């Protein structure tokens, strides 16, 4: 008994069957129809969005027996062989398991031979970022000037790890994450074609859980069909996924709005009976905070489906909703570090309760200036919430924390015996046009790269400095950006270390915040890579020009690619 999983059974066989990625399909179709086909393509994007599928359709379009074009016939022996995964001139290489230079050398040697059946020999290298540095160096020359009968199709989920020398030799296409609507539409079509009984809620839950990956969505669909004994019901799919619906979040939000700790604990106990994915619940809470904030600040964009809990929460201060959103988002990371997911989730909700100011609510709530349990409620809710949001989003550098002094109620005598009290940084108010603390302002990207290069930081703080893009600097706040693959470097302690190191170069520590990464924003790490490549090329050229080497190559000797290294590499 054999069963073909849905992700393979419904893999698109031509460009017209692809879901999304119209920008890539349009460019490739024009290239194929015009005959102007580049020799190397790089497809980037998260898992399950169609990188390998597009590459296979492209290989079929190049070798179809009816001719090169954007619409392969799908019926000739070449098309059938590609679809079946047995076309001899489509060589698929998993770079994750073939990372060495010897694997690449074998590829290069075989590339010189003409294709056996098709017009072109197509090399599909998946997860190409996993190749070693030596393997990349060995591949570069062939990648730049391949034989006319060879095309390279490279795919990766992490283009940041590719050398710039490789990126510059490829046409790059970034595949987008699919929307929930696109995934839901495809799931709906497949269920109807397969004759599987289903309801709308089940399809929506699977589309949401797929998180932009159609392949993940189809894998979940296979699992859901098996879970439901051949049919899909929303409640069964929700139980399988550990999903929590808006109606189940309502008691949590009601308790937070009312400032009622007992009701909040009871709602958490009730929720625990579903054995949910607590990180997913916090994601749903963040979505709920977004809908509440829209109702508060952009009423025209508010959803008519918002229930009474969200409508009531809109009476809180907008700053409190912003704070709760930050707590929900950051709490998803904390759950992995908590003693248990349930405990981590409960602490996030209790933190929301602790930062709620009943005096700011227009809904009544606990009222009377007292929080749950009869304790005095904190005053100045708007200011406190705004300050807390700022601290969560952009933790201040260490010198700034010292300048702020101890928290209210802290006792100086609580210091360790013999420990010296840290020096206080005097508070000054910068005049207009003057940088805070009189520090130097970083002018541009080149200034940032030069400054970061001179810090001499090692370890994770050094990685943060190397991979940070410069956005701007107003003399007080330094705005940087990190690529998605380096988001883990935004830890508060690493940002503090970087700010402290910059204090020596700039005169005082800047406040560091992060924005969206630029497509063309060069970093110190990329500059180092360019310099290494330049030294590598110079070393290879000097070695090849040496009289003794020239004499040996004239006699038939060959320089092994990747074997020449400059002294400092």
Closest CA to 362 of 299, 291, 314: 314
Q: Is residue 430 part of a domain?
A: no
Tell me, yes or no, whether 94 and 157 share the same domain: yes
Distance of alpha carbon 20 from alpha carbon 277, whole angstroms: 29
Domain co-membership, 253 together with 362:
yes
Tokens 């963040």 appear where? Answer: 286
Assess if residue 565 is contained within a domain. no
Residue found under tokens 């270390």:
497
pLDDT value at residue 557: 83
Q: Give the span between the Cα atoms of 322 and 317, in whole angstroms.
A: 9
Instruction: Assess if residue 27 is contained within a domain.
Output: yes
pLDDT reported for residue 363: 40
448: in domain: yes
pLDDT of residue 186: 92
d(CA 237, CA 217): 12
Is 567 within a domain? no
In sequence order, what are the residues at sequence separation of 6 or more whose Cβ sits closer than 8 angstroms to the Cβ of residue 18? 12, 25, 50, 53, 54, 57
Q: In this structure, what CATH number is given to the domain that contains residue 216?
A: 1.10.8.60
| Ordered alpha helix ranges (H), 35-175 | 51-63, 77-84, 101-111, 133-144, 164-167
Pair (361, 479) in one structural domain? no
Do 45 and 112 share a structural domain? yes
Residues spanned by the domain of 267:
246-367+381-391
Q: Of the residues 391, 425, 460, which one is the last residue of a structural domain?
A: 391
What angle, rounded to 10 degrees, do the helices at 341-354 and 318-335 form? 160
Q: Give the number of other CB atoms < 10 A from CB of residue 433.
A: 6
Pairing of strands 121-126, 511-515: unpaired
Verify that 255 and 355 share a domain, yes or no: yes
In the prediction, which pLDDT does 536 show? 85
pLDDT value of residue 418? 37
Same domain, yes or no: 158 and 201:
no
Interatomic CA distance for residues 327 and 339, integer angstroms: 18
Residue 558's pLDDT is what?
82
Closest CA to 566 of 549, 541, 529: 541
11 and 150 together in one domain: yes
Do residues 193 and 255 share a domain?
no
Residues 33 and 160 in one domain: yes
CATH number at residue 121: 3.40.50.300
How many domains does the structure of the chain reveal? 4
Residue 527 lies in a domain: no
Are the C-beta atoms of residues 215 and 47 closer than 8 Å to each other? yes
Contact predicate 508/399, CB 8 Å: yes
* CA–CA distance, 413 with 421 (Å, rounded to integer): 10
pLDDT of 7: 87
What gap in Å lies between CA 452 and CA 502, rounded to an integer? 8
196 in helix, strand or coil? coil
Same domain, 258 and 387: yes
- Rounded Cα distance, 454 and 407, in Å: 35
Q: Which of 144, 174, 204 is the last residue of a domain?
A: 174
Coil, helix or strand at residue 127: coil
pLDDT of residue 94: 85
Of the candidates 364, 385, 384, 366, the residue with the CA atom closest to the CA atom of residue 374: 366
Q: What is the CATH number of the domain that holds 501?
A: 3.30.300.150
Residue-by-residue pLDDT tens, the chain, 569 positions: 467 888 888 999 988 888 888 888 999 999 998 888 999 999 998 888 888 898 889 989 999 999 898 989 889 999 999 988 889 999 888 887 777 788 788 888 888 889 988 899 999 998 888 888 888 888 888 888 888 999 999 999 888 888 888 888 899 999 888 999 999 999 999 999 989 888 888 898 899 888 889 999 999 999 999 888 888 888 888 878 776 666 678 999 999 999 999 999 999 998 888 778 898 899 989 999 999 999 999 988 888 878 888 999 998 888 899 999 999 999 998 888 899 999 999 999 999 998 876 444 444 333 333 433 333 334 444 555 555 555 554 444 446 444 444 444 444 333 333 333 333 333 434 433 345 457 899 999 999 999 999 988 887 888 899 999 999 999 889 999 998 878 878 888 889 889 999 988 899 999 999 998 888 888 998 898 888 888 888 888 888 888 888 888 888 888 877 778 787 65
Distance from C-alpha of 87 to C-alpha of 57, rounded to nearest angstrom: 12
Question: Quick one: which of 370, 379, 386 has its CA closest to 259?
Answer: 370
Please check whether residue 213 lies inside any domain of the structure: yes
Closest by CA to 512, choosing from 424, 431, 452, 456, is 452
Residue at 140 is within a domain: yes
Between the alpha carbon of residue 509 and those of residues 396, 438, 544, the distances in Å are: 10, 10, 49
Same domain? 273 vs 345: yes
Parallel, antiparallel, or unpaired for β 150-156 and 121-126? parallel
- Specify whether 343 is located in the same domain as 440: no
CATH number, domain containing residue 255 = 1.20.272.10
pLDDT of residue 435: 58
Cβ neighbours of residue 542 closer than 8 Å, sequence gap 6 or more:
none
Q: How far is CA 388 from the centre of its chain?
A: 26
What is residue 148's DSSP assignment? Answer: T
- Provide CB contacts within 8 A for 263, sequence distance 6+: 251, 254, 255
- pLDDT tens digits along 354-399: 887 644 444 433 333 343 333 333 444 455 555 555 555 444 444 6
């Amino acid at each position: 008994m054999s069963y073909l999983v849905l992700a393979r059974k419904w893999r698109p066989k031509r460009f017209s069957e692809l879901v999304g990625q119209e920008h890539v399909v349009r460019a490739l179709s024009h290239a194929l129809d015009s005959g102007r086909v580049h020799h190397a393509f790089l497809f980037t994007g998260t898992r399950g969005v169609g990188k390998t599928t597009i590459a296979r359709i492209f290989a079929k379009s190049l070798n179809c027996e009816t001719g090169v074009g954007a619409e392969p016939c799908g019926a000739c022996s070449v098309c059938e062989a590609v679809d079946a995964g047995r076309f001899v001139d489509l060589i698929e290489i998993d770079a994750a398991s073939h990372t060495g230079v010897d694997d690449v050398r074998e590829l290069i040697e075989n590339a010189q031979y003409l294709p056996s059946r098709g017009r072109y020999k197509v090399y599909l290298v998946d997860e190409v970022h996993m190749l070693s540095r030596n393997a990349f160096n060995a591949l570069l020359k062939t990648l730049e000037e391949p034989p006319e009968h060879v095309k390279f199709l490279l795919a990766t989920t992490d283009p940041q790890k590719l050398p710039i020398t490789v990126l510059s030799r490829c046409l790059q296409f970034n595949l987008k994450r699919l929307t929930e609507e696109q995934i839901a539409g495809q799931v709906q079509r497949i269920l109807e074609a397969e004759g599987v009984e289903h309801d709308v809620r089940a399809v929506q839950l699977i589309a949401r859980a797929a998180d932009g990956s159609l392949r993940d969505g189809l894998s979940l669909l296979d699992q859901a069909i098996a879970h439901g004994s051949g049919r899909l019901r929303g409640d069964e799919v929700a139980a399988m996924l550990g999903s929590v619906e808006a109606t189940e979040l309502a008691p949590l939000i009601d308790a937070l709005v009312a400032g009622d700790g007992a009701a909040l604990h009871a709602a958490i106990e009730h929720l625990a009976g579903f054995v949910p994915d607590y990180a997913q619940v916090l994601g749903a809470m963040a979505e709920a905070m977004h809908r509440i904030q829209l109702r508060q600040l952009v009423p025209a964009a508010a959803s008519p489906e918002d229930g009474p809990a969200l409508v009531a929460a809109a009476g809180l201060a907008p700053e409190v909703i912003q704070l709760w959103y930050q707590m929900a988002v950051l709490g998803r990371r904390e759950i992995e570090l908590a003693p248990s997911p349930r405990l981590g989730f409960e602490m996030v909700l209790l933190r929301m309760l602790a930062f709620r100011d009943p005096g700011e609510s227009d809904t009544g709530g606990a009222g009377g200036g007292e929080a749950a349990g009869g304790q005095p409620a904190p005053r100045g809710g708007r200011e406190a919430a705004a300050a807390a949001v700022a601290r969560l989003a952009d933790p201040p550098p260490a010198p700034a924390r010292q300048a702020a002094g101890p928290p209210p109620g802290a006792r100086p005598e609580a210091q360790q015996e013999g420990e010296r009290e840290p020096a206080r940084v005097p508070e000054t108010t910068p005049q207009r046009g003057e940088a805070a603390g009189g520090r130097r302002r970083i002018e541009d990207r080149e200034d940032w790269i030069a400054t970061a290069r001179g810090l001499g930081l090692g370890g994770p703080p050094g990685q943060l400095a190397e991979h940070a893009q410069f956005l701007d600097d107003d003399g007080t706040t330094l705005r940087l950006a990190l690529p998605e693959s380096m988001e883990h470097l935004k830890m508060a302690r690493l940002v503090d270390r970087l700010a402290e190191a910059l204090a020596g170069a700039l005169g005082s520590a800047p406040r560091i915040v992060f924005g969206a990464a630029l497509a063309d924003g060069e970093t110190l790490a990329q500059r180092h890579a360019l310099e290494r490549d330049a030294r590598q090329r110079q070393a290879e050229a000097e070695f090849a020009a040496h009289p003794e080497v020239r004499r040996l190559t004239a006699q038939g000797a060959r320089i092994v690619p990747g074997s020449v290294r400059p002294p400092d590499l």
